[in-house]
């Protein structure tokens, strides 16, 4: 059963569970150490958080994780104190920022110095006859590390597989993030009216979710009227018109660093929805609930695609690129595809208890002006699923 928003979160147990998951996946793949640069994965592995958006594009901090030995955080200049008290971190050192911005024309020298630093650490902690998982770094840095004789593999597999199954404290974090996001959406919906720009409406949500402890919002997927179709047109200066649809995907990296990811579509008023708007909404609602209903532990990814809701041809061209996907600290493994997309894009795997998934729908086509985006977030249990997102659907559009 899902925890409640008031369930206490044992942060020490949370960090131990996540680091244990990562190390188990590393061991299964004979990886002796990983060098993590993604700020979300650094936070997952040890709990350290620092300027996540900035460090997502600047190689200014990284984490060295051994399968059995030390965990060494290389932190941004002047920020070494931020990891004080983290029992998961053995040592904090100053990072070498191997970027052109920091090094200029000397970038190759800095990359070689960075590689020599990591190679020395590998030899010291896990020896020479080992495999090291590496996340995204400059091409020059990766080449330089390989030239040091370090046997490299991509670190994505152990990290993503580790993150896929949640522990009890992770679920409590997700519920807290979801409830805060729902409160922010309720304020935004109350403010929704024709005459506001999309940016103005989105800012209401942004202010209220950040005020409750969220980290950031990963996308700006709020659109209205013709901007809703096709999907993925981000928030703009467009003015919301009378009786238009307003579609919104939360994509919140929220409380405790956990994602709250669900979608709703609203009718702006002041009149009643049109028959076409209600039809689009009904179909999207049907798709989401059908696909939620087929998810169960032990179902293979291929079986899910075979049993998933049959998308009408008139909406296929503008379909959402996924049928469902994993969710944790961000959107993550696995990706579950529509039946028509499984052959070119799908892959093997099994839905497991402890996975949290987002079930997606976008319904709109070349022959419709608007589109409807709906999405629910669920937990896979030992016996079925449990709903995590509890925000109500638009009754006027369901009528």
**Domain 168-398 carries which CATH code?**
3.90.230.10
Contact 246/222 with Cβ under 8 angstroms? yes
pLDDT in tens, 325-340: 999 999 999 999 999 9
At 306, is the secondary structure helix, strand, or coil? helix
The CB density around residue 131, as the number of other CB atoms within 10 Å, is 17
CA distances from 57 to 79, 111, 157, 210, 234 (A): 17, 16, 21, 22, 21
Q: Please report which confidence band the pLDDT of residue 369 belongs to, taking 50, 70 and 90 as the band edges.
A: very high
How many angstroms separate the CA atoms of 67 and 63, rounded? 13
At 386, is the secondary structure helix, strand, or coil? strand
Residue 54 has pLDDT above 90, yes or no: yes
Where do the structural domains in the chain lie, given as residue ranges? 11-164, 168-398
List the beta bridge partners of residue 64: 35, 72
Which listed CATH number (3.40.50.920, 3.40.1190.20, 3.40.50.300, 3.40.350.10) goes with 11-164? 3.40.350.10
How many angstroms separate the CA atoms of 41 and 27, rounded? 17
Q: What is the mean pLDDT of residues 251-264?
A: 98
Residue from 221, 265, 220 nearest 244 by CA:
265
Residue 283 has pLDDT above 90, yes or no: yes
What is the pTM (predicted TM-score) of this model?
Answer: 0.96
Task: Read off the tokens for 33.
Answer: 């150490």
How many angstroms separate the CA atoms of 95 and 80, rounded? 9
Q: Please report which confidence band the pLDDT of residue 342 belongs to, taking 50, 70 and 90 as the band edges.
A: very high
Residue from 291, 252, 245, 288 nearest 268 by CA:
245
Q: How many residues does the chain have?
A: 399
Residue 387 has pLDDT above 90, yes or no: yes
Contact 257/383 with Cβ under 8 angstroms? no
**For residue 1, what pLDDT is reported?**
80
- Residue 304 parent element (H or E): helix 301-307
């Amino acid at each position: 059963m899902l925890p409640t928003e008031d369930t206490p979160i044992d942060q020490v147990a949370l960090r131990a569970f996540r680091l244990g998951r990562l190390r188990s996946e590393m061991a299964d793949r004979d990886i002796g150490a990983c060098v993590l640069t993604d700020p979300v994965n650094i936070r997952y592995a040890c709990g350290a958080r620092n300027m996540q958006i900035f460090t997502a594009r600047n190689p200014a901090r990284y984490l060295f994780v051994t399968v059995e030995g030390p965990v060494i955080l290389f932190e941004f200049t002047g920020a070494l104190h931020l990891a004080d008290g983290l029992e998961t971190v053995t040592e904090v050192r100053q990072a070498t920022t191997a970027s052109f911005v920091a090094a200029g024309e000397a970038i190759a020298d800095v990359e070689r110095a960075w590689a020599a630093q990591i190679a020395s650490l590998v030899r010291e902690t896990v020896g020479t006859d080992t495999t090291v998982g590496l996340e995204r770094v400059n091409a020059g840095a990766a080449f330089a590390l390989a030239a040091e004789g370090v046997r490299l593999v991509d670190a994505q597999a152990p990290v993503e597989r580790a993150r896929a199954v949640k522990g009890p404290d992770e679920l409590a974090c997700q519920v807290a993030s979801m409830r805060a996001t729902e409160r922010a959406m309720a304020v935004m919906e109350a403010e929704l009216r024709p005459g506001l720009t999309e940016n103005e409406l989105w800012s209401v949500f942004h202010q209220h979710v950040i005020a409750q402890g969220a980290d950031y919002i990963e996308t700006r997927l709020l659109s209205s009227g013709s901007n809703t179709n096709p999907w993925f047109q981000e928030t703009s200066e467009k003015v919301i018109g009378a009786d238009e649809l307003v579609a919104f995907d939360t994509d919140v990296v929220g409380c405790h660093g956990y994602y709250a990811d669900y979608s709703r579509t609203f009718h702006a008023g002041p009149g009643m929805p049109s028959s076409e708007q209600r039809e689009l909404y009904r179909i999207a609602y049907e798709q989401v609930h059908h696909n939620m209903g087929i998810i169960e532990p032990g179902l293979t990814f291929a079986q899910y695609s075979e049993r998933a809701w049959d998308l009408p041809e008139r909406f296929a061209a503008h379909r959402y690129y996924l049928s469902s996907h994993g969710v944790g600290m961000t959107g993550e493994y696995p990706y579950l595809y529509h039946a028509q997309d499984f052959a070119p894009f799908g892959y093997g795997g099994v839905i497991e208890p402890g996975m949290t998934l987002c079930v997606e729908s976008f319904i709109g086509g070349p022959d419709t002006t608007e589109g409807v985006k709906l999405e629910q977030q669920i937990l896979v249990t030992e016996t079925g699923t449990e709903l995590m997102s509890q925000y109500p659907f638009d009754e006027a559009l369901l009528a």
